[in-house]
Amino acid sequence: MIPYSTQDIREADIQAVVTTLRSGWLTQGPAVEQFEKALAKAAGTKYAVAVNSGTAALHAAYFAAGVKKGDEVLAPALTFAATGNAALYLGAKPVFADVDSTTGNMSVADARKKITKKTRAIVPVDYAGRPAGLAAFKTLARKHKLVFISDAAQSLGATYRGKPAGSFADMSIYSFHPVKSITTGEGGAVVTDNPEYARLVKLFRSHGITKDAAHLKNKKEGGWYMEQQALGYNYRMPDINAALGTSQLRRLKSFIAKRAAAARRYDRLLKNIPGLILPPQDSAANRSAWHLYPVRVDAAKRRAVFDYLRSRGIGVQVHHIPVHTHPHYQTLGYKKGSCPKVERFYSTAISIPLFPNITLRQQQQVARELKKSLAL
């Protein structure tokens, strides 16, 4: 089976983890700070705070943004469920916007229509690794006094107007699940230029407890003293995982270059096939991290194409099931039909295999089988 995505682990990664296992620090040690420093540099931000998943990063970012019961968080419906779930964790209501049918990224026009007095944060997702319209969302967020959070789980390594895509929002979140740009096994991070947001994310990832003398509410009672100031979680990233992250980050540029080269190869192998729509190409102002290569087929054929490819050992997948259509969201009162472009995009999408070490032969095999499946 050629998977839709997979990690690249080298001897250097293994050595970095082994060194950490021997170092005496399995968690709360120096490897986490080291990773955070390297990540902030890659993201083009002042601060990076590592946590143990992308989902935890969303939860922490929403907390830092002040999202609470009764608030609304505006996000596209074409995303992984976690973008919405993290709002539910805080008692807030995710409001789902439609997307642009070409890129799969949140529609600025539809997002604007769905802003209310209760909207606290706006959270575009860089679908498939391609940066959303970050400049337009920033303007919209400023105008309506919203916190602008970028769900960049899929786009570490992407650039927008020549800069790292993660440097445009008030906070951006990353995921380090094995299918994403780099991996720590499980892991995530919030990056920001705002010291208060960074402080709140740190507080949240460690139970809401702080020892920081500058921020204590009460007088320090002794060397042991610490305070729980909010209801946080244990969202800490272990040093073992952070060491893997630092080692992986050294190859981030090469991972993205290889993904982009593979995407260009698909562009060539799959051009001019009737009934097949390819993802948009990169432009100088918008360079995708190429997390996915989602092609679009006739909705009536999608199931047959998918089943045929799977039966031929091609590990295709569909990204994403529109969040508002999941049974859990249906029980909360969300309605099918409320984001028609997302639902249409979903009904036609298939992600074909794309990862840094995919070979030309594998891509040729995918192209050959995909052509056959469309002729069925």
Ligand X SMILES: *Cc1c(COP(=O)(O)O)cnc(C)c1O
Which residues have a catalytic role annotated?
Answer: 180
Minimum distance of ligand X from residue 116's CB (angstroms): 23
Return the number of the residue (133 or 374) whose C-beta is nearest ligand X. Answer: 133
Minimum distance of ligand X from residue 242's CB (angstroms): 15
Omega before 320 cis (within 30°)? yes
Binding residues for ligand X, total number by CB under 6 A? 14
One residue of 7, 20, 79, 286 binding ligand X per CB under 6 A: 79
Q: Rounded distance, CA 243 to CA 283, Å?
A: 34
Return the number of the residue (177 or 265) whose C-beta is nearest ligand X. Answer: 177
Whole-angstrom CA distances from 25 to 31, 68, 188, 205, 244 are: 8, 35, 20, 18, 14
One residue of 4, 31, 47, 54 binding ligand X per CB under 6 A: 54
Q: Output the furthest CA–CA distance in the chain (Å, rounded).
A: 75
One residue of 35, 80, 96, 290 binding ligand X per CB under 6 A: 80
Return the number of the residue (177 or 296) whose C-beta is nearest ligand X. Answer: 177
Return the number of the residue (235 or 306) whose C-beta is nearest ligand X. Answer: 235
77: tokens are 């419906």
65 touches ligand X by CB under 6 A: no
Residue nearest to ligand X (CB): 54
Contacts of 86 (CB under 8 A, 6+ apart): 55, 58, 59, 61, 62, 73
53 touches ligand X by CB under 6 A: yes
125 touches ligand X by CB under 6 A: yes
The per-type count for the chain, helices as H runs and strands as E runs, is 13, 14
334: tokens are 């969300």
Nearest to 151 by CA among 98, 86, 202, 214: 86
One residue of 90, 153, 240, 352 binding ligand X per CB under 6 A: 153
Give the residues lining the site for ligand X (CB under 6 A).
53-55, 79-80, 82-83, 125, 151, 153-154, 175, 177, 188
